[in-house]
Structure 1
C-alpha cells in the first residue's frame, strides 16, 4: 500500500530534500569532501532551517541501514532513491557519506560561507516566489499572452496574493544585493525560469529593480502600467 503523505514526510521528507539538491549535479561526494550539491543544501538549510539538518542526517543513515527490497519499492511502501548516476551497489555507502558530512557540519560548525546560489535547486530554494513569477509570467509564451512585460507584471500584481507580492519584492532585493555581473544576473533569471529577454533598454538587474519598485508601490497602481 503506498505511503500516505504524513508517513512519507516523517520517514523520508528531509532525505528527499537532500536528494532533490542533486538534480543535474554529480553525486561525487568523497569521505573528505562534500559535493557541490551537498554544499548547496548545507548552505541553504543552515540559513533557513538549521534544525532540519539533524533530521536529514538521521533519515539518511536509517535508510542506508535498512534499504528496501524491490517488492516493497514496487508496492510504494518505501521512498525510492532517484537515479543519481551511481551504480546501485554504491548508493548505500554514498548515503552514509552524506550523513557523515551533515553530522560533521553540525558537530563542528562547518557552515558553508554565504554566496550566490550555485545549483538549480539552490536558486529555486532561495528564491521560490521569484521562480514562480518568472516561470509563470515570463515563459516563452509570454508574448502570446500579454501585450508586453508591463502587462505581464500588472497581471501578476492583481492575480497574486498581496503577501506573495511582498515576498517577491523582498526576493528581488535579495537577489540584487548579491551584486552579480549582468551576465551572471541573466543566468540567474534563466535558472529561475525566465525564457524571454528583459525589455529594452533594460538589462537584467535594471529590469528587476524596476519590477521591485513597481510592485512595492501602493496596490492601487497595479492594475495598469505606470506612464
Structure 2
C-alpha cells in the first residue's frame, strides 16, 4: 500500500524539498560545483531551517543506497524522484553528488551569499504568504470574481488571519527592499502566481507598495452600532 504521510516524511520529507527545488531546473550539478537549483536550496535552507540540511544529506544517501526494488514499486511504498532530465542509470550518481555538496556545505560552513531568488522554488520558499496572496487572489479569474484589485485586496484582508496579513506586509517590504528593476518586479510577481497586470497607473513595485500600505493600516471595524448590540 502507498506510504502514509508519517512514513513519507520520516523517510523522504526533506528529500522531497530538495527535489522540488529542481522543478523546472536542470540537474546540472557536477562534483566540483553545485548547480543553480541546489545553490538556491542551500541558500534558503541555511537561512530558514539549517538543521534540515543534515536530514536532507542522510535521506539522499539512504535513497541512493537503497533504490526502490520491484516489490516496493508494485506496492507503491516508495518516493518517485521527479524527472530531472537525467537517464535512469544516472540518477543514483546524481543523488550522491547532491549529498556530497550538502555535506561539504555543512562541514565547512560555506553558505551561498544572500541574493535575489533565482528559481521558482526559491521565490515561493522566501515569500510563502505573498505567493498565497498573489496566486489565490490575482489569478486570471480575478476580474470575474472581484470588481477590481482593491476589492481583491480587501477580500484577502477580511478572510485571512491577522497574523498572516502581518506576515504578508513584511514579505512585501522585503521584496521591495530588493530594489529590482520594474521588469524584474513584473517577473517576480508572475513567479509568485500573479496572472493579471498591476492596475493602472501603477508600476508593479508601486502597486506592491500601495498594497503594503493599505494592509498595514489598522482596520476601523468597531463592530455593529449600539442599537444592534
TM-score (norm 1): 0.95
8 Å contact 1:73–1:79 — kept in the other structure?
Answer: no
Q: Could you tell me which runs of 5 or more consecutive residues in structure 2 were left unpaired when the two chains were aligned.
A: 222-229
The aligned counterpart of 1:151 is 151
**SS of alignment partner, residue 220 of structure 2:** helix
Q: Could you tell me which runs of 5 or more consecutive residues in structure 1 were left unpaired when the two chains were aligned.
A: 222-227
The aligned counterpart of 2:220 is 220
The aligned counterpart of 1:88 is 88
8 Å contact 1:73–1:80 — kept in the other structure?
Answer: no
The aligned counterpart of 2:4 is 4
Partners of 2:192 and 2:45 in 1: CA distance: 19
8 Å contact 1:138–1:195 — kept in the other structure?
Answer: yes
Partners of 2:132 and 2:74 in 1: CA distance: 33
For residues 58-113 of structure 1, the C-alpha deviation after alignment (integer angstroms, 9 at most, x for no partner) is 00011101111133123121111111111111000000000000000011111000
For residues 174-215 of structure 1, the C-alpha deviation after alignment (integer angstroms, 9 at most, x for no partner) is 111111111101100000010111111110111001000000
Partners of 1:189 and 1:2 in 2: CA distance: 36
Q: Where do 4+ consecutive residues of structure 1 move more than 2 Å?
A: none
The aligned counterpart of 1:20 is 20
The aligned counterpart of 1:224 is none
**SS of alignment partner, residue 219 of structure 1:** coil
**How far does residue 2 in structure 1 lie from its aligned partner after superposition?**
1.3
Considering only CA atoms, is the larger Rg found in Structure 1 or Structure 2? 2
Instruction: Kindly report which structure 2 residues correspond to 1:123-162, keeping only aligned pairs within 5 A, or say none.
Output: 123-162=123-162
**SS of alignment partner, residue 201 of structure 2:** coil
1:190 matched to 2:198? The reply is no
The aligned counterpart of 1:52 is 52
Instruction: Kindly report which structure 2 residues correspond to 1:66-105, keeping only aligned pairs within 5 A, or say none.
Output: 66-105=66-105
**How far does residue 3 in structure 1 lie from its aligned partner after superposition?**
1.1
**How far does residue 18 in structure 1 lie from its aligned partner after superposition?**
0.2
Partners of 1:220 and 1:29 in 2: CA distance: 53
8 Å contact 1:123–1:192 — kept in the other structure?
Answer: yes
The aligned counterpart of 2:205 is 205
TM-score (norm 2): 0.95
Partners of 2:40 and 2:70 in 1: CA distance: 31
**SS of alignment partner, residue 11 of structure 1:** helix
Partners of 1:165 and 1:173 in 2: CA distance: 13
Partners of 1:178 and 1:209 in 2: CA distance: 13
